[in-house]
Structure 1
């Protein structure tokens, strides 16, 4: 369908809906990578009812759509795109400090949610401070950082099922949450409208399981999984993330990214030892001994950032490119202000292929790809 026809169809059917506004904002303005072309229309939904109404109508007219929250996990093609961007701006937050129950609409800014809960004396979310994006995206890829995942605290998700038109609350257990995964990821079967969380009411944080964070908090090694003041933990996490360029700042190109671009690879125990042997041959025994490797059941989780760096891709690589690795962290691919999506794709391919050639481990990107692919 031609873009002008698609635009006319949208305007003739959607302008009268409550809680809806329409414009032509580009994906470069809607994403933290500041990359991507222009959709046929951008529809902003101020309420969850508006989200349901808009998605229902778009599906009824067979109009392709992309749900956009904070835009922190999207890699979108350049040029004009025959899709409608549905931007979630529904952002109500309800906090019960007595029970620790929190209900958040999908369009709420995630870090604002964390900050508000900490200010209300509730613990649990503080390790997820500084993560860009919206609340609705957190269960889709089971957002996690510093030893905590949203699955640790999530109880229910309100979904709009696009195939049946049903709107319902679904138990978190039904989402098959795993490392950076839910059964919603890479599908368009449902739209997250809201989430419910169960937080701690005793004034203490989630257990501190991440060594780097524990050290920054001066927690002794003997106090494994210690709990402490949520505000103190939040401040430490924000400082650590800031040092790595992982707290979005419009004026800092090191943060024009999609956060951690590649997931940490999970491999068999045998493959992990093969990688360690390659590291020993390429570098030395000490480097092989210190290679990050964590047990995940009978498998092993390696560090994507460590592998990228040891494969020869240093911070800031390639130093002159429009798309580069962050100068603060090798796991973030950044737009230096004038990159195209194709520049980013080329860099992602180079890094993925370089790591695989060096260590035999294939990295997989974490963001959602729209109209373009790393393959």
Structure 2
């Protein structure tokens, strides 16, 4: 976003060994691990602590994938889009719809990044973690990370501590081997996002090109000459609310069902069991609704800014808060607070911010 003060100390880690050493050295002080910085809002005041910047890079095919797939190991500091471009060139399917997402590979599992029908949970096998207070790197299966809609046990949600405080050193993915020729797009969500018919055939490269074009049209591909791209991407998460609450919203508000996971296993003590199986009540249905629609229909159009502020909503997408040039973190936060207040007042829904905040409160 181009805002924020300077930390007392920046330590660059170009290897896993340097990363572990930096974490050990900073253990008794305030510290913060930085990837690409694309999903970050730091306060204007200097950070009185150590910022550890992960600059590890590289990826390589490894053994262990099931038939028809290729397993790939990726370093946490690897530029994400460069890695996606390589998978497309190699004919490996699974992350092509996430083309153009800024940042590093290590950040991908933290909020289960996704776009246009794909999420990292669909391909993630495991992550290499350094738990807080440890100097060991452990491999943790993806199933143990609590991955959900834009969340995981590793994510520091606004106002909350992560369930597991750890640093990612690397990730491992299983990608389907499909080649570089056009093939029918099997994923219904990708077809819908790209306006494809069920019979349309596209290569991975063509999917990537279309995704990049869509993202650019929304100001979501970095362009130094375009102030709409000086943002943290989507500033607010799409709210997930009860279906009953969603029915009270105007019919034109976009919404999507959220898959529920029902625990199917019941355990009974045979010594006392009466032979009856109690009915398991299904959880209340939940719905994800469009934060962008809520913002715009609260009377805040694209390009909206508070009087005299150098921060504004993007002129292309109301979900992004942008730095129009010389903005401060306080100006960004003030606009975010105003947006939250308007949406809560109009629809009774509190929007939760998506970026990681350092020293900023809403």
Instruction: Report the alpha carbon displacement of residue 213 of structure 1 after superposing the two structures with TM.
Output: 2.7
Contact in 1 for aligned 2:117/2:193 (Cα 8 Å): no
Gaps of 5+ in 1: 1-32, 277-287
Aligned length, in residue pairs: 322
- 1:176 is matched with 146
Structure 1 counterpart of 2:194: 214
Asked if 1 retains the 8 angstrom alpha-carbon contact of 2:233 and 2:320, the reply is: yes
| 1:295 is the counterpart of 2:257 | yes
Q: Deviations over 1:81-116 (max 9, x none)?
A: 201111110011113598421111011111111011
Hey, which bits of structure 1, 4+ residues long, moved more than 6 A? none
SS of 2:87 mapped into structure 1: helix
**Alignment counterpart, residue 367 of structure 1, candidates 339, 355, 361:** 355
| Separation in structure 1 between the aligned mates of residue 79 and residue 192 of structure 2, nearest angstrom | 26
Partner residue of 2:219? 245
SS of 1:274's equivalent?
coil
> Secondary structure of 1:337's match?
coil
Secondary structure of the residue aligned to 1:239 is helix
- Contact 2:34–2:51 (CA under 8 A) maintained in structure 1: yes
Instruction: Give the corresponding residue for 1:34.
Output: 2
Structure 1 partner of 2:171: 195
For 1:52 and 1:116, the matched residues in 2 are separated by: 28
Question: What residue in structure 2 maps to residue 71 of structure 1?
Answer: 37
Q: Unpaired runs of 5+ in structure 2?
A: 157-161, 260-284
Map Cα deviations across residues 260-287 of structure 1 (whole Å, 9 max, x no partner): 11010000011001123xxxxxxxxxxx
Q: Quick one: structure 1 residues 212 and 244, their matched pair in 2 at CA, closer, same or farther if it must change by over 3 Å?
A: farther
Q: What is the RMSD of the two structures over their aligned residues, measured on CA atoms?
A: 1.8
Q: Distance in 2 between matches of 1:163 and 1:256?
A: 35
Structure with bigger helix share is 1
Query: Offset at 1:321?
Result: 2.9
Q: Deviations over 1:142-201 (max 9, x none)?
A: 001111111111111000112333311110000010001000011372110000111110
2:85 maps to 115
Contact 1:175–1:184 (8 Å) recurs in 2: yes
Kept in 2: contact 1:56–1:162 (CA 8 A): no
The structure, 1 or 2, with the larger RCO (C-alpha pairs under 8 Å, 6+ apart) is: 2
Counterparts of 2:242 and 2:191, CA distance in 1: 24
TM-score (norm 2): 0.85
1:328 matched to 2:316:
yes
Contact 1:118 1:230 in 2 (8 A): yes
Mapped pair 1:46 → 2:14:
yes
* SS of residue in 2 equivalent to 1:369: strand
Q: Is 1:304 the equivalent of 2:291? A: yes
CA–CA distance in structure 2, aligned partners of residues 356 and 124 of structure 1 = 37
Other structure's SS at 2:93 match = coil
Q: Deviations over 1:13-47 (max 9, x none)?
A: xxxxxxxxxxxxxxxxxxxx111101001111111
The answer as to whether partners of 1:208 and 1:214 remain within 8 angstroms in 2 is no
Structure 1 distance, partners of 2:43, 2:186, is 39
